[in-house]
Homo-oligomer: A and B are copies of this chain.
């Protein structure tokens, strides 16, 4: 009786590595853990860094625009910015043109911290993807799935 495929690839005999949700969930968990550890000395985590990266380039953005880029809820971005502002990485300024809007900008500390942390992120991702024959192709696949 031959059923090597099922047995070896976790099809029916208990392995979870068949399941896309399981794989994505735990791959993300391991990346998050590695990133958190590597970024901790710089005073931020991967989520903070993503916020900084959204506001680092181009024209100043309102909170809503930052939230949209990150694909997070506008009620979440407030707390994130509170933390970043307390640590002196960002500043919120009322927009003169539309006084409802908070324009979010990097401080110079925020900019230098971003530059260092971004290097760390790239190193972590590089090492994380090292087991793959074609790391860029994997990233492209993820982009395709998101439609970006």
Contact = CB atoms under 8 A, between A and B. Distances in A.
A38 interface: no
Contacts of A26: 71, 146
A19 interface: yes
Interface string A18-35: 011111111110111001
B121 A145 contact: no
A96 interface: no
A99 interface: no
A28 B30 contact: no
A127 to B, nearest CB: 11
A120 interface: no
Interface residues of A, number: 47
**Looking at A27, A70, A131, A141, which has the most chain B CB atoms within 10 Å of its CB?**
A141
B58 A13 contact: yes
A21 to B, nearest CB: 5
A132 B141 contact: yes
Interface of A: 10, 12-17, 19-28, 30-32, 35, 46, 50, 53-54, 56-58, 69-71, 121, 125, 128-129, 131-132, 138-139, 141-148
